[in-house]
Amino acid sequence: MKSFAIRRREATTMQRDRLRVIGFSALLGLAFLFLWQALTSVQPAAGVSGALAVGATAVQMLAHPVLRPRTERQGIGLQLAASLGRLGVGWVVASVVAIMGGVALGLSPTLYEP
């Protein structure tokens, strides 16, 4: 049985590790965004959009997820939902078939040779 003090020390160590991971991830993400924006503003002729422009588009897209203003086209939310729906149907049916087939294969020494 671990003493209360040891357990508390372990908990704080875990918390510190977690904070460190989150901190490093945020730092790397920020560095990537900064580099992206810097490179695209130095070399705009290459035609790749910068981080700020993509951010502005993201805000605008997320504000109208169902129907995009003026264009009357379907928004990003609807498109993603359509894709996720298809993924769900295909994946669930495939998983059921694959698990049944896999159990049959795994139990049969003639069909399954490791």
Main-chain phi, psi angles of 113, to 5 degrees: -120, 115
Min CB(64)–other proteins separation in Å: 12
The HSE-up count of residue 82 (CA atoms within 13 Å, CB side) is: 8
Instruction: Give one DSSP letter per residue of 99-110, joined into a string.
Output: HHHHHHHHH-TT
**Site of interaction with other proteins (CB under 8 A):** 47-49, 53-54, 56-58, 61, 73-74, 76, 78-80, 82-84, 86-87, 89-91, 93-95, 97-99, 101-103, 105-107, 111-114
Min CB(5)–other proteins separation in Å: 28
Cβ-contact 42, 50 below 8 angstroms: no
Nearer to other proteins by Cβ, of 19 and 56: the residue is: 56
Min CB(8)–other proteins separation in Å: 24
